[in-house]
Amino acid sequence: MTKKTLKYKDAEAELAEILEDLQSERVDVDEISDRVRRAIELIRFCKEKIEKTEMEVKKVIKDFEKELSGESSEEDE
């Protein structure tokens, strides 16, 4: 997979296009394995992006919860 700046939305669109091509039999037999390989690369990219985003969101929430708990203890004083 090319390491250019690939966006999740673009990967998802390309996957949809590959799937549509394979289902409609518009892909030449000689291209099928390459298209499937590309689809797998895109799926891996999307999976990694989702996992990374999930971790980032959890960290942001955790940091925010720490911030809130720190504020409430200051208000009690």
pLDDT of residue 76: 47
pLDDT of residue 17: 95
pLDDT of residue 3: 52
pLDDT of residue 27: 82
pLDDT of residue 51: 97
CA distance 48 to 30: 29
Residue ranges of domains in the chain: 8-75
Task: Please list the ranges in the chain whose pLDDT falls under 50.
Answer: 1-2, 73-77
Q: Which long-range contacts (CB under 8 A, 24 or more apart) does 40-46 make?
A: 41/1, 42/1, 42/11, 42/12, 42/14, 42/15, 42/18, 43/15, 44/1, 45/1, 45/6, 45/8, 45/11, 46/8, 46/11, 46/12, 46/15
pLDDT of residue 26: 82
